[in-house]
Amino acid sequence: MSIKSIAAKLFAKIIHNKTQKWASNPFAAQQKVFEDLIRQAKNTQFGKDHQFSQIKTPQDFAKQVPIRDYEELKPYVDRLVQGEENVLWKGKPIYFAKTSGTTSGAKYIPLTKESMPFHIEAARNAILNYIHETGKADFVNGKMIFLQGSPILEEKNGIQLGRLSGIVAHFVPNYLQKNRLPSWETNCIEDWETKVEAIVAETINEDMAVISGIPSWVQMYFEKLQQKGGKPVGDLFKNFNLFIYGGVNYEPYRAKFENLIGRKVDSIELFPASEGFFAYQDSQKEKGMLLLLNSGIFYEFVKSDEFFNPNPKRYTIGEVELHVNYVLIISTNAGLWAYNIGDTVQFTSLKPYRVIVSGRIKHYISAFGEHVIGKEVEHALQEAMNGTEIRVNEFTVAPQIAPETGLPYHEWFIEFENEPNNLDDFALAIDTAMRKQNVYYDDLIVGKVLQTVKITKVSKNGFQEYMKSIGKLGGQNKLPRLSNDRKIADLLNRE
């Protein structure tokens, strides 16, 4: 065992003990975060506007600070972008993470000197926790690749801005720099297809041990590796045994990945966003990701089926229940207050607090009152594929409200790697799995309001072409699993 591996194990034990300390005292950890946030922001413009000086409890906070999304917080953010100080958080942000918005164009998410370290530490701690649990540390001697956005940053009124993954690239520790790929020059390539080709050229003859990225884009990298190398990825990279991912559920991709790799590898799931790093997988045996309760983020939760009610109840960590779908609301040391990031979560454990990402509050299907969420369609697809040779590259689902004939239905757009022998039987298997999970959907099928799902096959690389057509190929961009309208469906139908 190398000195580097021994040091990694020792450091992993230290971090594990620190994690256990706050994870075993979750309420105290969150209360401390809450008090620190209110104290440090009470003299900001936002703090004065919302009377932070009078806030003593989370209940006070819920009364005085309404839930907002980016568009509603934008007047404050615009002042930050113009260079004002002490608006949402003390001083000025050190970065803006620039993301694509829906109704407001580009979004500028502030990152502060207080919030930035937690983004870095959480990713590091996820790996160290894996080392401590499994005892596997040899991979630290191999090469590591992180598929991410360009690290080239712009500047706006004295504050640097770029994609979060590009900003994080500037914080890679020195002890990882010589192991890290791709090169800085390749990482700076903006065009995703050109970038992947360059990454393949740089890595195909290297000893890759750890690979990280959003599954859909890593899949594209693996396919090109296999095409160029003429063998499975696991044969090209003999010591590749750890895949780190976030952004989407890995399960729909797992069978395809194992085929591309040629064997199973361990994986670590992360839950990062520009707004904060919320959770990481802390166990290879237990379901869910450890919610980070001491990382400068105060969490509130609203039940998804109550979210659009006037003044829905906001639950703190001590009030949540298992397996309930909650909208995640955050307040952070970057100056986001009662902020709706759009993700929904479910708790899989309360000791410690572990979550899975169940979908997006804006990405659902309820054209007929069925309340279908991302977790349900992903599970239904996985159940339908179990025990078969069917493999799926990508998929999305939309309602078909006005078909030319027959009842309305849910239309599944699927790009297959291995197609089913009988598409109708596969559609029925998906439908059956959906009905088991969602009583509203089942009622609509039984009541003959909807007919069973129908599948539309998408041609090879069809989803990549769709993402390219809307300017969102690669990087941190993700295909929505669900839409409550036909915008994506209509574009896919033009193929």
Computed over every residue of the chain, the mean pLDDT equals 90
Q: Tell me, what's the pLDDT at 102?
A: 43
- CATH 3.30.300 positions along the chain are 374-492
The CATH T-level fold of domain 374-492 is: GMP Synthetase; Chain A, domain 3 (3.30.300)
Beta strand extents in 261-376 (DSSP E only): 266-273, 276-280, 289-291, 297-303, 326-332, 339-350, 353-360
244 HSE (CA, 13 A, CB side): 26
What does the block give as tokens for 238?
A: 């003999």
1-360 in CATH: which number?
A: 3.40.50
Residue whose C-alpha is closest to residue 337's, from 73, 81, 83, 111: 73
- pLDDT tens sequence across 406-433: 889 999 999 999 999 999 999 999 999 9
Whether this model's pTM surpasses 0.95 = no
Q: Tell me, what's the pLDDT at 476?
A: 63
Does position 100 have pLDDT exceeding 70, yes or no? no
Residue whose C-alpha is closest to residue 466's, from 483, 447, 490, 449: 490
- pLDDT tens sequence across 17-33: 999 999 999 999 999 99
Contacts of 231 (CB under 8 A, 6+ apart): 262
CB 111 within 8 A of CB 167: yes
Q: How many CB atoms lie within 10 A of CB 287?
A: 11
- CATH 3.40.50 positions along the chain are 1-360
Q: How confident is the model at residue 309 (pLDDT cuts 50, 70, 90)?
A: confident
Cross-strand partners of 322: 347
Q: Tell me, what's the pLDDT at 103?
A: 43
- DSSP result, 225-277: HHHHHSS-HHHHSTT--EEEEESS-SHHHHHHHHHHHSS--EEEEEEEETTEE
Q: Tell me, what's the pLDDT at 47?
A: 97
Q: Tell me, what's the pLDDT at 475?
A: 59
- pLDDT tens sequence across 459-482: 998 888 888 888 777 656 678 888
CB 209 within 8 A of CB 244: no
Does position 305 have pLDDT exceeding 80, yes or no? yes
Residue whose C-alpha is closest to residue 212's, from 278, 157, 274, 168: 168
Lowest mean pLDDT, pick from 63-67, 140-144, 317-321: 140-144
Does position 101 have pLDDT exceeding 60, yes or no? no
Q: Tell me, what's the pLDDT at 473?
A: 74
CB 42 within 8 A of CB 86: no
